[in-house]
């Protein structure tokens, strides 16, 4: 469970942070008048592209600023919980870890 939580937490945190940053940068790109359509018309402020970018930035800011970093706390919490409850899990279901411990002890 710990490995799954850590892997999914890392993937989620990276994805959330990058997505939020990309949406924020898209709005800045449009506001700098760098976005052009197929006919080389500049799509700046007060266009549909800018309105969509503002919506994306509204969603992206919480992703970038809160969701990504908060998953870091979840991963740390899972690691601490696994250390606290490791002995209880091992005693009830020795499984693969019990097999490794037996090999280390030479049993």
Q: Which residues pair with 36 in a beta bridge?
A: 42
> Greater confidence, 94 or 54?
54
CA dihedral 53, 57, 59, 61 (to 10 degrees): 170
Cα 90 from Cα 48, distance rounded (Å): 58
- What average pLDDT does the structure give for the chain? 82
Confidence of residue 99 (pLDDT cuts 50, 70, 90): confident
Confidence of residue 95 (pLDDT cuts 50, 70, 90): confident
- Model pLDDT for residues 21-69, shown as the tens digit of each residue: 899 899 999 999 999 999 998 988 889 999 999 998 898 888 888 876 7
């Amino acid at each position: 469970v710990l490995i799954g939580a850590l892997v999914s937490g890392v993937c989620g945190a990276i994805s959330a942070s990058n997505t939020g940053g990309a949406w924020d940068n898209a709005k800045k790109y449009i506001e700098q008048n760098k976005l052009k359509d197929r006919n080389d018309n500049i799509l700046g402020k007060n266009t549909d592209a800018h309105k969509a970018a503002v919506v994306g930035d509204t969603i992206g800011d919480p992703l970038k600023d809160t969701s990504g970093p908060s998953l870091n706390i979840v991963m740390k919490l899972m690691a601490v919980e696994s250390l606290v409850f490791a002995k209880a899990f091992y005693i009830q279901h020795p499984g693969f870890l019990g097999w490794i411990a037996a090999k280390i002890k030479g049993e």
